[in-house]
Structure 1
Amino acid sequence: MSTFIRSKYQQYKRDTHKLAEWLARAAIQNGYSLGGFSEADQSFDDDGNQKRTANQVKNAKKKAKAKAKAQKQAQAQALYENSAAANDQDQDDGPKTEGTLMGASNGAGGSSASTYSTNKTYLIPSNQYPIIAQYLVDRSVRIPAELMQLLDRCIRLRCSCLRRFFENPDASTFTHAHFISVLANVRTIFSEYRAGHQKPSSAPSNIGHDNAEPTDAAWTNMFAELALEADDDDNGPENLPDIFVPEPSGPARGPTPQLKFVPQPDREELVIRMLAFFEDMHNVRDEIQALWNRYKIGEIDLITASVTTNTALELLRASHDDIMRTILPAFDNNLPMLLGVVYNLLYTMIRGTGYHMDGLPLFKHLSDSDVTRTAIFDHLLIPLLQILGGMSDVIVDGRVPVYRPGHFGTYDPCLDFHNLPFTRRWDQSLILMSETFTDYFLLAAIGERRGDALPSAPIIDDDTHTNIFFIDEIALEMNRFSRTKEVSLLVMIYCQIFIDVNFTLGKSVDRGLKALKQGASDMISTLKRRRQIEPADTSSVWHPNNERSVSQFISELESWVTMAPLTLIEQTIRNKGYSFRSKLFERDPKLCGVLLFRLRLKYQHLALEIANAFGTVLASAHLLAACQHSGTLPEETAPHWEDMDVVLDLHGKDDVFGGKYPKNVDDSLVSFLHMAGYSKEVQGAAKHVFTDSPLPKYLQDLKDKKNRKIDARSKSGPKGLTDHSQIVPLFFGKYVGDPVAGTTFNLNALETLLSDIRRDQERAERTAAAGSRGDRRKERYEIRRERKHRSPKFSILQLLSVLETGLAAETTSVRFDYISMHLQCLGLLRQVKLSADDYFVSKIGSKYIENHCQLPFIVGYILQYAAFSGRAAERVLGIKREGRNAMDTRSKRLVDATRVVRDFLARTREGSAEVDRMRM
C-alpha cells in the first residue's frame, strides 16, 4: 500500500523511532559514548522500517500469484531468519567508514574511545532513554518544543491502546507498564528542565537510571496535561500530522548525521506495537459494522459497502505482514504464545496482578460474569484463534471437511447478536463459521483447472486459470489457511469481519445474493434486447469478433443467474456421498458485492464501446441541445430528457460536445462535425459557408491552391464518451484483470477525488438551499472523516471514508446502463429519420443514409440544413437572426425533429428509464 496511508500501528512505529533517533543523535553529538548501543544486524530506512534485501523485493513481487502464496510466506520467514547474512553481503558492495568518538561511557563523566561505522545502524534500548535525557539536561542541551510534542504523542498512543479497558483511567492505571513509565520519566526530566531553563536541582537522585520512576506529582501533572480522557476522534491518526523535530544542538564530533539509530524492540515494546495494531483493527471493525448498517437501512448500495470493506481488509494486510516479519519471530513464531503474552499484560494492567496459566483457557469455559477475561478474549479475537485451530485439525489433504448440520447447535440470524452474552455470542459464531468453512474450502479450488473453471476466470496460460473468487480478501486468505493449515492473525481478523457483517445484517444478509443475481439478470436482458433493436448487419461499425466477446460475457452473467459456482460446490460434495447445501453466497454479501462490481465494471467497459461504436448517444445529445436552443417555437416547451442529463453530468459537456455547450445551431453543427471525426478543414468550411466573415489562413491557403486536396476525416477519428471517474481506475486492475493483484492508490488521485467530492457537496448544499431534493444528495456526498491537517497523509479510517463517499458518488457511473441508453437513442433516431426522410430523399436522394448503422448522421443533416438555411436567409434576404429586430428563422427540419423528440419521450416514457432503474 502507499506510504501516505498511515495506521495507528505505523504512526506508533514512526513516532517511537523518531524519538529514539533524536535522543541518541543528540547524546552522541554532545559526547555520549556509543558503547551503550549495540549494532543492528539489519538495515533500516529513514522511518526505522527494516529494508528488504534484493531477494525479499523479488519475493514481494511474486506474491501476486495465488498458487505460490504459501511457499512465498515460508520464504519470507527464512529470509528474516537469515537477514543478517544477507544484509552483510549487500553492504560489502559499498565502502565502510570508521572513526572514533570521544565521550562519556555512562553519561556521568569519564571519557573513552568508541569505534563506530557510519554505514551501520545502532539499537537504542528503552532503559537508556532516561539516562540520555539526564545526560542532555546536565549539558544544557536545548530541548525543542517539537520533541516534547512528539514525546507527549508517544505516551498518548501507548495509553490509548489500553484506555478502552478502563472507564476512567488515571495515572495509576498505567504505572505498571514499563513502556509508558519510561517515557513519562523522560518527560518529567525534560519538563522540569524546560520550566527552569536549567537542570532540575530537586530531581531524585536515581532519576534517569534504570529503575527510576517519576514522583506522584509528576505523574498526576503529566496525565492532566496530556488529557487522557480525550476522545479518540480528537486524537485519532487522521488528526496527527507528522512532527519534524529540529536537528539537535551541540558540538558535532565526527560525521554524526550519517549515523542511524532505531529503538531496540524488547518484548514489552513489541507487545504494545501489537496492541496498536489491534486498535487499528477494532477501529476498522467498528467502521465496517457502521458501513453495513448504512447498507442495511438503504443509505449506500451493495457495491459501495463491499468494495470499501474489501479495501479495508487489504489495508490491514500491510501492518499484519510487518508484524509477522518483525514481531512474531521474537515469540518463536508462535501466535498463541504471542497472544498469551499480550493477554497476560492486559490482565495485569486491569487487575493489578498477572494471571499465570498453562496456555489460554477455552472460550467455552469462561463465565459471562468474568468481564475482565471475556473483554480481553474479545479484544484479541482469542475465540477465533481456538475455533480456527480446531478447523485446522480436520483439514486432510485431498479430502473435504464436511460439517454435520446441527453438531454445535442452530444458527439463528434473528438474534440481537451485539447484546448477547459472551458465551452465547461465540457459540453462534462457532456455528456460523463451521457451516461456512466447507464452502470456503471448496471455493478456493474452483477455477484452478480448465475443466471446472468459470467463464469469468481469466486465462493465465494454456492450462491455468486464476481463481476469480480471490478478488475477495476473505476467500484469498481462507485459501491460504486451507493449504497451510496454519492460523494467522489475518485469517482471524477476516473471519471476525465475516461474522460482524452477518451479525449486523441478521436475517437480511441474503440481500447481497439477490442483488448479484438480479444485476446479472438485468445485464443479460439488455444485451439480448440488442439483437431485437439493432440493425441485422452491424459489421460496418461493430466487428463480429466483438460479438463473440459479448456472447462470452453473457455466459459469464448466466453463470451467476443460475448460480453455477454454487451448483459446482454442492455437486463436489454429493460426489463424495454427502448431502450438502451451500450457504456461502447468501451469508457473504461482501463476496456477492465484489463479484457484482466486477461484472458491472466489465459491463460498463463493453457498454461504452457499443455506445461509441454506433454513436447513437452522442448524436442524440447533440440533437437534444439543438432542440433546446433552436428547435422550439414560442408556444412550445423544450424537451427534457433526464437520462441524457445524467450522461452530461457523468461525462461533462466538454466530453460530449468537444468543448463548450452549443449556444446556437451554428455551434451545434461545428460541435457535431468535430465529435463525428471530421477534419479541421471541414469544420472550418461549415462554420464560414454563407457568411461574410474572413476565412482563416488554413482555409485561405486551400482556396488559393489549384489542386487542393482536403481530407474530410481527422487524424484522431470520431470522438466518444470516456469514463471520468476517479475511483473506478483504482480498482480496475484487481477486479477485472488479475484477481490477486493489490489495489493501488496515489496521492494525486485521492486529492483530486476529495476536491470533486467537496465541489459536489457544495453544489448539493446550494441545491438544498434552493428547495429541491438536495438534502438527500448532501448526505450522499458527505465525507464522514475529514483531515484536519495539510500533511499528505491519510489514516485508514479517513481513506475508507473518502472511498465510501467516492464510490457512492460514482455508483451512477458504474450502474448507468449505456447499452440500454444506446437502444433508447437508436429508437429515437429512427423516428427522427422517419419524420424527415421524404424531405432529404427529395433533396439528396434515397442513399443519403445507406443503412441503419448510419442513423446518427440524420442529426448532422438536420443541423447542416438548419444552419445553412438560416445563414442564407441572413445573407441573401437580409434577415437578422440575432440581436435587435431579429426575425424567427428556425429551421422546419429542426422544429419537426424537436416535436419528434418531445413526443417520443412522452409516448415511450423512457426519458427517465435508466435513472428510475438506478433508484430501485
Structure 2
Amino acid sequence: MLPKGLKSSYHRYKTDTQSFTSWLVATASSCGVVIGSDIVNNEGTPTISLHNYTVLVDAVVENGIALPKVLESVLERAISIRKRCARFFQSKKPEDEISNKGHWHFIAVMEDALNRLKPSDEEDSRTGSGKDVNDDSYSQLSNRFALLALDESWKEKPERKAAGKKSKKKNKENTNLNDKLESIARYDIEEEYDEYRSLAFFMAFCLFVDLNDLRDSIKDTWTEYKEGTLDAMTAAVTTNATLIVGRNLIDITQSLIRPSDFEGADSLPTTIFSFICLLSDRDHTFRRRPHDLFNLENYPMADWTFATTTILMKSYIAVVDPQSCPFYRKGNWGAVDPSKPYDERSIEEKFDNDREAIVDFLFECAFLLQTAEVLVIDEVTKALRDFNRTKKITMYHSFSSQVLLDIGNILADKKTAPYDDLRMTALRAKKNLTSFLELNSKVPLPTWPAANTAAVQKILRFIDLELTNDPAIPLKQESSPPGFSHTEFHLYKQNPIFTGLVMYDLSLRVQELGIAVTNNWVAVFPTLCLYNLLNNSPSIQAVTWSDFDEFLKVHDEKSFFVGGMPKDLEGSFEKLQFSLDLSPTALAKPGRSKRATNSTKGIRVINATTVLGAAFNTALKSERRDALSLVVMEELLESLELQPEMIPELVESPRGNTASQALKRKKKKRKTLTSLQLLKVLQSNLALEERKLEFNYIGLHGRCFEFLGKLRDRLHDKLVKYYGPQYIEAECQLPYVIYYVMKDALMSASASKSMGLQSDAMSSPMLIQAADLMREYTRAKSAIACRELMVFSKTYKANSTGSSKRKRGKATHWTAIKEILDSKPLVLAQEGQI
C-alpha cells in the first residue's frame, strides 16, 4: 500500500466530494432542512442523490451562508477531474447524445452549487449577510470546515520567502482539521452514471491520469540526466521509487474495480483504448501497413492508455517458444535512426522504434530466467522477467515497460550513457581498491578486520566478472544459431534504471569501505589537524590542500573535532590525541623521552553523511528484497525532518525544480504531501548526496599516508635524537609523526617560557619543516579528489561557480580521468572495448 498521506487522484476526488457533501448536509440541517438517506456505498457511508442537492443548496443560500473558501477550492478540484473524464469519454457518435448529456449532469449540479454558494468578493467566506455570526450552531459548524487541510499541489505557486501574518495563521489553523472533522457525519454522492460510463471507468481514468503524471516526472528526471544536471544513480533510484508508486496506485484501483465492470475484457489498457476508439467513431481494424498491430492513427491514445505496450507484449506471447531461449535480431521491422529526436519521428517510426525496443528487452528478460539472480534488480526488469515466466499481462507490466520506452526515447542516441558512467565508476573503484590492497599488503594494520579485506576482494571480483567481461555472452552463444551477434552488456545498455541502481550499489559499498579505511588507519585525521594548524598560524605561509577543504564540506568538523575546529597549537594537539586514541595526560607531563601511550576512550570516527545512501545500503543488505521500497523512502524523509541539521542547503536546479518548499510543506502539513512532491524531495536529496557519495576516501587516505612517510623521512634524524630509534614500532604508526612534531613545538615553547624568553610555538624547526614539506607536496597533489569530482559528480560540477571554473573543468575532463584511472584501461575505455 501507499505510505500514509500518498493518495491517488480518485481517492482525493472521493475525499473532496465527501467533504463538500458532508458540509452541505450538516449546514442545511442547522437551517432546519434534513434529508435522510437509506443508501450506503461500499464503504458504509450514506449517500445523497444529486436531485436532493438542489433542496440542500436552496436552504443554505436562503439562510445567507457562504461556502468556506477552502471548500470552494476542494469542490473546484473535484469538478475539474470529472470534467476531464467527461471530455475523455465524450462520444462523437450522434446516437450517444443522450448519454453524453447524462454524463455531464453531475458536473452541472456541482457547478450550480458552487456558483450559488461561493461568497462574493466583498463577503467573508465563513459568514453570510443573512446569518447571525454569533449563532452557535452555525459558527461551530463553520469553524470545523474552515480548518480543512487542503493539498493544492494541482495549482501550486512558488512560496514567498516571508509569509504574511494571515498565511501563517491559516497554516496554524489547518493543522487541526482532521480531529474536528471526526465529529461530523460523513456523506457521499450517489453516483448516477449510465451503463457505459460507470464509476469503474472514472476510476480507470483517474488511474491513467496518475500514471501519466508519473511518466512525465520520470521524463523530466532523465531529461535532466541527458542535460548533465543529474547523475545516473539519482535518476535510477528516483525512477525505481516512482515505479513502486505506480504499482501501488494500480493495486489500489484494481482492488476497487469489480471484474464484472469490465466483463469480457482481458486488460484495462486495451479495454479503455478500444472504448475510446469506439466513441471516436474510428475504424479500429484499419491498418496502414501489413505488420501494424492496430490503427496507428490512434497511436497517441494508445500511448496514453498503455495499450501500445500491452499489444506489443501480446504479440510477443504469440511467437515466443516457451521451450527455448529466444533472441531478437535487430532491424527486423526496418532500421530505426536513434539520432532523430523521438518527437520529430512519424507515427510509424515511433511505433517501429517502440516495438523493437520492447521486444528486444523482453527477449533479454527471457534469457535472465535461465541464469542466476542478479545482484540488484530494478522494477522494470523484475516485472518483465515475471511476465516472461507467467505469460500473463498485468497493468503494471504495461506501465513499467512504457516507462522503459520513455527513458530510451528521451536518451535516444545517448541511451548507453548510463552504462558508460557505470564502466568509468567501476574502473575508478578497481584502481582505488587495488592500490589499497597493495598498501595493506606492504604495511599491514593489525586492527584492520579481515572481513573488510574480504569485502574489498568481493567488489573487485564483481568488477572483473560482471563489469569487465560480459559473463552472459558465452551462455547466449551456446543458445543461439551460429553467426548470431550478441551485444555485450545488453541488459545494462538497454535498461538505464538497472544500470543506475548497480552503479549506486557499487558506489555505496566503495564509500562504506572508504570510511572504514579512514577510521581504522587514522592517517587522514592527523594530517588534517596539521593542515588546520598551519593555516591558522599568522607566522607560517598558508598551505592549500583543496581535497581537505572538500572533506570538511562533506563531513561537519564536529564529527572529528570535539567542541569545534581548534585555532592554536594547544587545541590542535588535544584534538590530535583524540584522533590517535592517545592519553591527554601526555600534555601534563611533557618530556622528550616520553613516548605516546594508548588511551582506552576510543578514537574519533566519521560516519557517512549520506543519510539516504546509508539507509538504502542497509536495505540492500537485507536479502535485497524490495530494497528501494517507497516505505523506506518515506521513513528516510521523516528522519530528515526530525534532524534538520542533516538537511543540506537545497539549491535550485537549472530546470527550476527545487524540493525545499515541498519539504517545508511536509513539516507543516504531514498528511498532504502528494506522491510527486515526495518523489521530488527524494530526487533533490539524492542529488545533493551524490558529491558526498563520490568523494574518494581511499585516495585521500593514500595521499595522507604518502605524505606522512615523506614527513618521517625528512624529520627522521631529529625524531631519533629526541625520541629514540623506536619512536614508531611499525610503518602503520606513521600518523604518530605528527604527534611528535606538535609535541616538540609545545615543549620548545614551554622551555622558552620557563626561561623568560619570548617564543612563538609555531617557530619550532620541526613544525616549519613540516609546513614546507606539505606546501611542496600539495603543489602536485592538492586537488586530485576535487578533479575526480569534476569528472564523476554532476552536482559538484553544477555547483562550481564562475565561468572560468566551468571551462577549466570541461577542458580537463580526460586529463583528470588519466590521473584517476590506469593508462591501459583508459585507452580501452576510450575505444569502447570495456
1:364 to 292, 299, 313: 292
Structure 1-normalised TM-score? 0.70
Q: Does 1:759 align with 2:687?
A: no
Please say if residues 287 and 797 of structure 1, whose CA atoms lie closer than 8 Å, have aligned partners that are also in contact.
yes
What displacement does 1:847 show?
A: 1.6
Q: Does 1:155 align with 2:79?
A: yes
Q: Does 1:410 align with 2:303?
A: no
1:731 corresponding residue in structure 2: 616
Take 2:179 and 2:761, find their aligned partners in 1: how far apart are those partners? Answer: 81
What displacement does 1:21 show?
A: 4.6
After the TM superposition, which residues 355-754 of structure 1 pair with which residues of structure 2 at under 5 Å, given as runs? Answer: 355=281, 364=292, 370=297, 373-394=298-319, 397-448=322-373, 467-470=374-377, 472-534=378-440, 536-567=442-473, 570-571=476-477, 573-574=479-480, 580-581=486-487, 583-630=490-537, 633=539, 637-678=541-582, 682-683=583-584, 685=585, 713-715=599-601, 717-741=602-626, 742-743=629-630, 744=632, 745-746=634-635, 747-751=637-641
What displacement does 1:808 show?
A: 2.3
1:809 to 688, 693, 696: 688
What displacement does 1:826 show?
A: 0.9
1:18 corresponding residue in structure 2: 19
Q: Does 1:833 align with 2:708?
A: no
What displacement does 1:724 show?
A: 1.5
1:846 corresponding residue in structure 2: 725
Please say if residues 521 and 561 of structure 1, whose CA atoms lie closer than 8 Å, have aligned partners that are also in contact.
no
What displacement does 1:828 show?
A: 0.7
After the TM superposition, which residues 271-290 of structure 1 pair with which residues of structure 2 at under 5 Å, given as runs? Answer: 271-290=201-220
Letter of the 2:356 counterpart = I
1:189 corresponding residue in structure 2: 113
Take 1:136 and 1:480, find their aligned partners in 2: how far apart are those partners? Answer: 57
Letter of the 1:567 counterpart = I
Deviations 1:263-292 (A, max 9, x none): 567763332333233223223322322322
Q: Does 1:901 align with 2:774?
A: yes
Residues 292 and 480 of structure 1: CA distance in aligned 2, closer, same or farther (over 3 Å)? same
Deviations 1:777-822 (A, max 9, x none): 9759961784495423433333333333322221111111211111
Instruction: Give the count of matched residue pairs.
Output: 724
Take 1:651 and 1:247, find their aligned partners in 2: how far apart are those partners? Answer: 41
Aligned-partner SS, 1:122: coil
1:701 corresponding residue in structure 2: none
Take 2:175 and 2:190, find their aligned partners in 1: how far apart are those partners? Answer: 21
Take 2:300 and 2:476, find their aligned partners in 1: how far apart are those partners? Answer: 38
Aligned-partner SS, 2:224: helix
Take 1:443 and 1:620, find their aligned partners in 2: how far apart are those partners? Answer: 49
What displacement does 1:532 show?
A: 3.2
What displacement does 1:664 show?
A: 0.4
Letter of the 2:675 counterpart = I
Deviations 1:806-859 (A, max 9, x none): 222211111112111111111011111112222122222222211111111222
Letter of the 1:291 counterpart = T
Unaligned runs of 5+ in 2: 91-96, 121-127, 131-151, 160-166, 792-834
Take 1:150 and 1:273, find their aligned partners in 2: how far apart are those partners? Answer: 18
Q: Does 1:318 align with 2:248?
A: yes
Letter of the 2:39 counterpart = F
Take 1:125 and 1:425, find their aligned partners in 2: how far apart are those partners? Answer: 48
Letter of the 1:554 counterpart = L
Alignment RMSD:
4.2
User: How much identity, in percent, do the aligned residues show?
Assistant: 19
Take 1:562 and 1:400, find their aligned partners in 2: how far apart are those partners? Answer: 25
Take 2:735 and 2:263, find their aligned partners in 1: how far apart are those partners? Answer: 67
1:773 corresponding residue in structure 2: none
Please say if residues 274 and 284 of structure 2, whose CA atoms lie closer than 8 Å, have aligned partners that are also in contact.
no
Take 1:384 and 1:289, find their aligned partners in 2: how far apart are those partners? Answer: 17
Residues 153 and 730 of structure 1: CA distance in aligned 2, closer, same or farther (over 3 Å)? farther
1:133 corresponding residue in structure 2: 56
2:813 corresponding residue in structure 1: none
Take 2:697 and 2:707, find their aligned partners in 1: how far apart are those partners? Answer: 15
Letter of the 2:504 counterpart = F
Residues 304 and 256 of structure 1: CA distance in aligned 2, closer, same or farther (over 3 Å)? closer
Take 2:501 and 2:177, find their aligned partners in 1: how far apart are those partners? Answer: 47
Please say if residues 581 and 600 of structure 2, whose CA atoms lie closer than 8 Å, have aligned partners that are also in contact.
yes
Letter of the 1:37 counterpart = I
Q: Does 1:270 align with 2:200?
A: yes
Letter of the 1:798 counterpart = Q
Residues 259 and 779 of structure 1: CA distance in aligned 2, closer, same or farther (over 3 Å)? closer
Deviations 1:652-686 (A, max 9, x none): 111132231110010101111123334xxx43x45
1:122 corresponding residue in structure 2: 45
Residues 256 and 317 of structure 1: CA distance in aligned 2, closer, same or farther (over 3 Å)? closer
Residues 258 and 434 of structure 1: CA distance in aligned 2, closer, same or farther (over 3 Å)? same
Deviations 1:610-633 (A, max 9, x none): 221101111211121122224x74
What displacement does 1:245 show?
A: 11
2:755 to 874, 877, 883: 877
1:915 corresponding residue in structure 2: 786
Letter of the 2:545 counterpart = W
Please say if residues 25 and 248 of structure 1, whose CA atoms lie closer than 8 Å, have aligned partners that are also in contact.
no
Take 1:392 and 1:198, find their aligned partners in 2: how far apart are those partners? Answer: 68
Deviations 1:204-236 (A, max 9, x none): xxxxxxxxxxxxxxxxxxxxxxxxxx9966489
Residues 365 and 552 of structure 1: CA distance in aligned 2, closer, same or farther (over 3 Å)? closer
What displacement does 1:523 show?
A: 0.9
Aligned-partner SS, 1:158: helix
Residues 657 and 160 of structure 1: CA distance in aligned 2, closer, same or farther (over 3 Å)? farther
Take 2:675 and 2:550, find their aligned partners in 1: how far apart are those partners? Answer: 32
Please say if residues 785 and 801 of structure 1, whose CA atoms lie closer than 8 Å, have aligned partners that are also in contact.
no
Deviations 1:184-207 (A, max 9, x none): 4134236435669699xxxxxxxx
Take 1:283 and 1:338, find their aligned partners in 2: how far apart are those partners? Answer: 18
1:866 to 745, 750, 772: 745
Residues 359 and 734 of structure 1: CA distance in aligned 2, closer, same or farther (over 3 Å)? farther
2:669 corresponding residue in structure 1: 791
1:327 to 257, 269, 275: 257
What displacement does 1:430 show?
A: 0.5
